[in-house]
Amino acid sequence: MSILVVGSVALDSVKTPFGESKEVLGGSAVYFSCAASIFAPVRILGVVGTDFPRRYVDLLKRRGIDTAGLQVRDGKTFRWCGHYGADLKEARTVSVSLNVMEGFSPRVPFRYRDSKYIFLANIDPATQMKTLEQVKAPVLVVCDTMNLWIETKRADLLNLLKRVDILLLNDEEARMLTGAKNLVNACNKILRLGPKAVVVKKGEHGAILATKNRGFFLTPAYPTSKVVDPTGAGDSFGGGFLGYLASTGNISESNIRRAVVYGVVVASFTVEDFSLRRLMKIGGPAVRDRFARVRQMVRF
């Protein structure tokens, strides 16, 4: 089953204690697509400038990603520059240039409109809503967001959440959205905002799934000893998560649990190198191997 994703397409410049990358392929929709395409066909919706390197489009295509929804607008591609400190926890944004992202209005290509699995990757909630409105009959709508939108576009976000099945966000964002310091309470508050399920991504500490029916599911992260660049970890978590669900066509609670584990597994690869380097080198077997290892590591 095809997945439709809308989000940012960026040229990232990142510095970590292990090195730096300059003007490399990035953005929430891109990390998501590359991760999800390990599992299922992906249709990407986004905008780039005329400066966007042709080779990056080719790279997405080689991955089987449908780029018909990648608008090219006059101007420059969205750029983000961030630095990570020694603990590799959170990026300090050095600069952001919206460029062609400013005023981006998503137009869902005709052949995308029957998409059943929708991923609203991190982007302005109004853009997420505009995308969703153009899809005919989605089976599952999964939404990611960030602190910026929680602070500056809260009304749009709350409005959108009423139409979202599963919300993904990180622990700080869950606290910020709900005002609850305790994550258990934060999850319960989010479930009253619309979503049937919420997944809290906790980086090296794994993830929490909370649902209205069965309560909590808890998974650790895959314990990698090689964290080089955390950029895109959350977006590729989303890709592993929804990619697995779409590939199985099964949105039962037990399958959603497995999808969360595929999320942490795919993210564990992303952080092992800069940009999409590591993610581009792996396929199903590597992912299934780490999935099996997580299962073995949590058994008692």
Residues that bind a copy of itself (CB under 8 A): 86-88, 181-185, 188, 202, 204-206, 208, 215-220, 223-227, 254, 257-258, 260-261, 295, 297-300
Pick the closest to residue 40 from 13, 4, 86, 84 (CA basis): 4
Nearer to a copy of itself, 128 or 211 (CB): 211
DSSP result, 206-257: -EEEEETTTEEEEEPPP--S-----TTHHHHHHHHHHHHHHHHT---HHHHH
Q: Which C-beta is closer to a copy of itself: that of 139 or that of 218?
A: 218
> Nearer Cβ to a copy of itself, position 223 or 283?
223
Considering the complex, what minimum distance in angstroms separates the CB of residue 200 from a copy of itself?
A: 11
Query: Which residue lies nearer to a copy of itself by CB, 17 or 64?
Result: 17
CB of 80 to a copy of itself, least distance (A): 25
Q: Kindly state the smallest distance separating residue 227's Cβ from a copy of itself, in Å.
A: 6
Of 110 and 300, CB closest to a copy of itself: 300
CB of 230 to a copy of itself, least distance (A): 12
- What minimum distance in Å lies between the beta carbon of 215 and a copy of itself? 7
